[in-house]
């Protein structure tokens, strides 16, 4: 399974299993029933834990995939899933987007990306088990990346992209690849920042008007600073709008201050330092930039009068 790193949990239980095996050998060779029982217990725990791990089905799926290598990525698929001709089309989409992002970001990814093809978003959900459903542990960020507005995701512990084969394949793979490229610029803190850039890349720098829903959410949230709270960003009532707003604001910053300045900001905007990094990079506060952006998009300035 080259291209898929073994997961930390898997590694832990691999070590535990090896230790258990040593205990068992020791117990058998010295005829020690207590150690013997311990060995059996640990081996059973090892097997059950791996089976119950959310990664088990995915690793099993990954192990039985065929591969079609490209430059910088490898497409992994089940033969039953896609015809040979269609497969080449998906590989061409991936190559085109990967090469385009190399030009945009100015570097390649350090590792070959595995792009797994699935029959549907539901299949990804079934095979990754809890990947989509973990609410707020360490995988929260990736979980929400996985959910909207795309059904694809970047696997939290690998550089793999999990893609349903559907009509939005090309734009979705561009979005998910953008996340991997952006990881090399700066940390994945703040969904507002990460999804803003990924969406802007997905839309190829175009700035479509915000939908009415996004405008009304914007008024409700009062300030862009509210979107720095990941839970609010992804609240069911606002998440679609959050992606739109983040995309629009990222586009505004890139157009106004340039790609290099934006990347400098992206690099330094870590937890607890977003506002300071923003001010340092753009020489203005988030609130001041927001006022200019609102003028640009034609949204009313924030005031109590417009929150009704
Ligand atoms: Zn995303």
Q: What pLDDT is attached to residue 136?
A: 34
- Mean pLDDT taken over the chain: 80
CA of 288 to the centre of ligand 1 (A): 26
Q: Would you place residue 155 in the very low, low, confident or very high pLDDT band (cuts 50, 70, 90)?
A: low
CA of 23 to the centre of ligand 1 (A): 46
**Is residue 241 within 8 Å of residue 252, measured between CB atoms?**
no
- Maximum mean pLDDT: which of 4-8, 116-120, 274-278: 274-278
- Please state, in angstroms and rounded to a whole number, the distance separating the CA atoms of residues 19 and 43: 9
CA of 64 to the centre of ligand 1 (A): 27
Q: What pLDDT is attached to residue 300?
A: 53
Q: Which alpha helices (DSSP H) does the chain contain, by range?
A: 8-30, 33-52, 56-63, 84-105, 121-128, 140-147, 169-185, 191-202, 212-221, 230-233, 239-257, 259-268, 274-282, 286-297
CA of 152 to the centre of ligand 1 (A): 9
Q: Match 């290598």 to its residue by tokens.
A: 69
CA of 207 to the centre of ligand 1 (A): 17
Q: What pLDDT is attached to residue 280?
A: 96
CA of 195 to the centre of ligand 1 (A): 5
């Amino acid at each position: 399974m080259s291209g898929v790193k073994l997961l930390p949990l898997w590694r832990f239980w691999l070590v535990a299993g090896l230790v258990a095996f040593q205990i068992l050998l020791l117990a058998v060779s010295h005829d020690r029933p207590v150690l013997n029982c311990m060995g059996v217990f640990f081996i059973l725990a090892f097997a059950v834990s791996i089976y119950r791990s959310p990664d088990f089905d995915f690793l099993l799926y990954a192990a039985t995939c065929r591969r079609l290598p490209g430059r910088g990525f490898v497409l992994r698929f089940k033969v039953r899933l896609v015809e040979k001709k269609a497969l080449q089309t998906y590989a061409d989409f991936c190559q085109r987007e990967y090469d385009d992002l190399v030009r945009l970001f100015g570097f390649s990814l350090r590792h070959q990306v595995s792009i797994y093809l699935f029959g549907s978003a539901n299949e990804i959900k079934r095979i990754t088990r809890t990947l989509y459903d973990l609410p707020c542990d360490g995988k929260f960020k990736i979980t929400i990346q996985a959910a909207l507005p795309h059904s694809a995701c970047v696997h939290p512990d690998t550089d793999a992209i999990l893609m349903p084969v559907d009509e939005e394949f090309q734009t979705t793979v561009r979005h998910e690849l953008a996340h991997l490229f952006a990881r090399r610029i700066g940390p994945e803190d703040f969904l507002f920042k990460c999804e803003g850039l990924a969406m802007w890349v997905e839309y190829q720098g175009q700035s479509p008007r915000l939908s009415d829903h996004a405008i009304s959410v914007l008024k409700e949230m009062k300030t862009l600073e509210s979107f720095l709270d990941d839970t609010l960003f992804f609240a069911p009532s606002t998440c679609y709008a959050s992606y739109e707003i983040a995309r629009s604001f990222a586009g505004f910053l890139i157009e106004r201050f340039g790609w290099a300045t934006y990347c400098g900001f992206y690099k330094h905007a870590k937890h607890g330092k977003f506002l300071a990094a923003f001010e340092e990079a753009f020489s203005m506060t988030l609130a001041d930039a927001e006022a200019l952006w609102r003028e640009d998009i034609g949204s009313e300035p924030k005031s109590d009068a417009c929150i009704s």
